[in-house]
Amino acid sequence: MDINEFAQKVRSAVVRELGDEYSAEIKEVYKNNGVLMHGLLISSNTCNVAPTIYLEHFFRVYEEGVTFAEVMRRLLETYERDVPARGIDMDFFRDFDKVKDRICYRLVGQAGNQQLLEKIPHVEFLDMAVCFFYAYSGEALGEGSILIHNSHVDMWNTNTAELMKLAGDNTPRLFPWRCTTIEELLKEMSDGEGLRGFPAEDVPMKILSNSRRMQGAGCIMYPGVLEQIAGECDADLYILPSSIHEVILLAVNDRETPDELKSMIMQVNRSHVAPEEVLSDSLYRYDRQRKAIEIIF
């Protein structure tokens, strides 16, 4: 059984289990870097919001030997936990004045996202792209994001420059930056295996992300952040893109060569980072005199 057959089997089981008031469909969703995932959308007559449940995890569990009945129990438990108790009026999203205070940015790599970038407003940044999202937060939906597409820009009668200005103000406010050492991070992690394959021993690395450690690589664009960290290190900084969620900062010195660091980035991206979470294979450097980031290679 492949993922497509599994998805259809799940869809049929959901309809059979929940009854006539519910419907289910499978939607193929292209995530970051063009990674295809299979989303299950369960709709009901009493709620106008259908949370997307991605099936790849459940398929892996099924392949590992968990019974289909147990997989369905877990999946429906996930649905019941995530679905709002009542319908939600989304008309507010059409009013730019009601959303502009929560428009934020995130970083993605340009490589692998060309088709997506044609559909969304964005700003090129080195070999990456700044894209925009609406950060929603509330009792009904919890916390999440809605990616802003070109159609939203037209609906709001705005432009990329205005989105960039708003996001530049909103993102640091809503998602404040946090910089920690690997040792501090390891104390917070239960597995103790390090950060996505990067070695912790005798390497004075710092991890820069936002307070939620989600989509935090964009913190390198926050005003004054790299300048402050470089000042504390009294050195320029190498920037290693660990993932879309965080970057690794390392003071430029004679211990690690750019070749070694570049090799480390590529090896980690291939073996420790999920394909949809890879940001870039590039090694960057922050020049504290010019207050600028450049690609080393």
| pLDDT score for 203 | 54
pLDDT band at 163 (very low <50, low <70, confident <90, very high): very high
Do the Cβ atoms of 42 and 83 come closer than 8 Å? yes
Residue ending a domain, among 31, 59, 82, is: 82
Domain identity same for 170 and 230 = no
Pairwise CA distance, residues 146 & 32, whole Å: 14
**Closest alpha carbon to 111 in 125, 128, 123:** 128
pLDDT in tens, 221-274: 999 999 999 999 999 999 999 999 999 999 998 778 899 999 999 999 998 899
Domain identity same for 154 and 240 = no
Q: Is 34 left (phi over 0), alpha (psi -120 to 50) or beta?
A: left
| pLDDT score for 255 | 79
Residue 139 pLDDT more than 60?
A: no
pLDDT in tens, 76-96: 999 888 776 555 667 788 999
Residue ending a domain, among 115, 150, 174, is: 174
The owner of tokens 């430029």 is 252
pLDDT in tens, 120-132: 999 999 999 999 9
Instruction: Encode burial over 270-295: b for 16+ CB neighbours within 10 A, e otherwise.
Output: eebbeebbbbbbbbbbbebeeeebee
Domain identity same for 161 and 186 = no
| pLDDT score for 194 | 47
Domain identity same for 256 and 202 = yes
Domain identity same for 60 and 112 = no
| pLDDT score for 202 | 52
| pLDDT score for 192 | 46
The domain containing residue 137 runs over which residues?
91-174
Domain identity same for 218 and 241 = yes
| pLDDT score for 265 | 94
Domain identity same for 201 and 280 = yes
Q: Kindly report the average pLDDT of the chain as a whole number.
A: 89
Domain identity same for 158 and 254 = no
Pairwise CA distance, residues 190 & 192, whole Å: 6
Count of structural domains, the chain: 3
Domain identity same for 108 and 129 = yes
Pairwise CA distance, residues 262 & 284, whole Å: 9
Residue ending a domain, among 33, 56, 82, is: 82
